[in-house]
Amino acid sequence: MIGSGASAGGRNTGIVGALLLGSLLTLRPAAADPTLTASRQATLLRLAAADDARLAAVAAALERAIDAGRRGAARIIQGETPPAADLEQAADAAARAMQLGADSQRADAAVDGTRLAVMPGQPALPAGPHSADLSGVDGQLRDAAAASGGFVERRHAAAETLEAMRAALAALDRGDAAAAIPTLDRADAARRVVRAWPEPPVVLPFWLRTTDRMLSAARDIADATLAGDAAAARRAGRAYRRAATHARRADTALALAISESGAALASVPLRRLAEALDATSERRAAVASVLH
């Protein structure tokens, strides 16, 4: 009896041990399927290569937009070459970048999802450019293009005002008051263009007051000279000299305001394009680490 009991106890112990071993085995992670792993890795590399190609296309479009936008902004400030064509070109490139950005977003999502399956626990890759980041940039550039024409026109009108005024003074110095009158009329006409600035810089009233006083005094000199009134001509000359003491400061202030206003026309869309390009470059660098 004792022997049979011992035998039963041994069998029970063996059964319990087998059950415990089975439980422990079920707790172990299943061995990775090498074929499945290799397939996922191949898929990840294929998707990453496609993502990099799309990101490269986005970057190229952004670079074209930034280059054209910067040319246009510089031409607004210089006021010599019409800037609208460059800004329109920048808008077209920005619209293209936004379209490409939508494709890039889908490629990004495919890479991120597959990478999570292949390399769980790894930190996420930085986000690439989203089409929402570029939404409306092309419209902002087209608005800048539309505004740039009038802006350059007013810049030229300010320069024409001063040039005509100098020509009138030269005629007065020669004693040719009759020739000074039409030149002063030309200066007045150019000045009216500047005065009609829809949203003028804060220094414009100072420039307008200064040029108005100078033009009025110059016209008084011409009128007095034609009338043969030497005393009135001398009084007008003193008035002109008083007004002219502010001329350099007024011209400098207006030139600075024109430069700042011109730069501001395209500053916001150009900043947004630069931020999108930075995001694209960062994402490409991260995708390159997956490929290599």
Length of the chain: 292
Give the number of other CB atoms < 10 A from CB of residue 192: 11
Give the number of other CB atoms < 10 A from CB of residue 182: 13
| pLDDT band at 18; cut points 50, 70, 90 | very low
Which CA distances in Å does 279 have to 102, 125, 260, 272? 14, 11, 28, 11
User: Domain extents for the chain?
Assistant: 33-146+268-291, 150-265
Task: Please name the residues in contact with 114: beta carbons below 8 A apart, sequence gap of 6 or more.
Answer: 40, 43, 44, 47
pLDDT of 267: 92
pLDDT of 32: 54
Query: What is the pLDDT of the chain when averaged over all its residues?
Result: 85
Q: For residue 30, report the phi and psi dihedrals to the nearest 5 degrees.
A: -65, 140
What is the amino acid identity at position 209? R
Q: Report yes or no: 68 and 93 within 8 Å, Cβ to Cβ.
A: yes
Query: pTM value?
Result: 0.72
For the segment 65-79, the average pLDDT, to the nearest whole number, is: 90
Which CA distances in Å does 125 have to 109, 139, 274, 276? 10, 31, 20, 16
Highest-scoring range by mean pLDDT, 20-34, 124-138, 190-204? 190-204
State yes or no: pLDDT of 16 exceeds 80.
no
